[in-house]
Amino acid sequence: MTSTPLHITLLALCLATLSGAATYAQGPRWSQSELSAINRGDLATRSVEQSRSGLELMGGSSWRIVNASPTQAWSAIRDVDRYRHMLPLIHSVTRISGDDQAMRVRIHQGQGPIDVRYHLDLRFDDATRTMRFRLDDSRVNDIRAAWGYVRIEPWEDGRTLFAWGVMADFGDDLLTGIVRPVVRRWMLRVPTTFRDYLEGWGSRNYASR
């Protein structure tokens, strides 16, 4: 896939924005309050809003401990067909093309006044247990831009740290009034919805991993 100047700009912004989400093995780069939340088993979040390259972006990073092994957690991230159970407000995730390492999917997401359909390119790196995604802007989408990552990292006592980062521009018409803070909150809740799935009924899908 050939990168355009806009893609390069978005990638650079993503790396700069999410650079604070270091791996546990490298030593945490969280604030004391973020690290305290993680150690308590709570959701730690870092919100970001930026204007860049004609985009009005919001998102950030979030982290949460999951009571599952890194192998089980990564198996769940690889289980694209069950994403609607792991991610907030997802109605459907449909594979369009690609293979196990890189694929395109169509997503229908929303609740109440929010109802969007968009396409993502997903890239999986088994060596680092990292999945990166970005909006497939060669197709029709209801949002302007989106990109980010999921990273699965080993934590103490065989548990897993779920690290999440996302930046997106949902367009001028969608995020108005009280809707904007609601969407921002849900964007960073992904580690919690993933934990609820993997520690709940979803655990049986990966029990032997």
User: For residue 4, what pLDDT is reported?
Assistant: 39
Q: Assign domain 5-205 to its CATH superfamily.
A: START domain (3.30.530.20)
Closest alpha carbon to 88 in 207, 183, 166: 183
Residue type, 60: G
> Who wins on pLDDT, 47 or 114?
47
Residues 84-112 have a mean pLDDT of: 94
From CA 33, how far away is CA 123, in angstroms rounded? 32
User: For residue 184, what pLDDT is reported?
Assistant: 81
Report how far apart, in Å, the C-alpha atoms of 56 and of each of 7, 49, 53, 110, 169 are: 16, 8, 9, 20, 5
Closest alpha carbon to 161 in 59, 31, 21: 21
User: For residue 102, what pLDDT is reported?
Assistant: 97
| pLDDT band with cut points at 50, 70 and 90 for residue 177 | low
User: For residue 97, what pLDDT is reported?
Assistant: 96
Would the pLDDT of 16 be above 60?
A: no
CA 57 to chain centre: 15
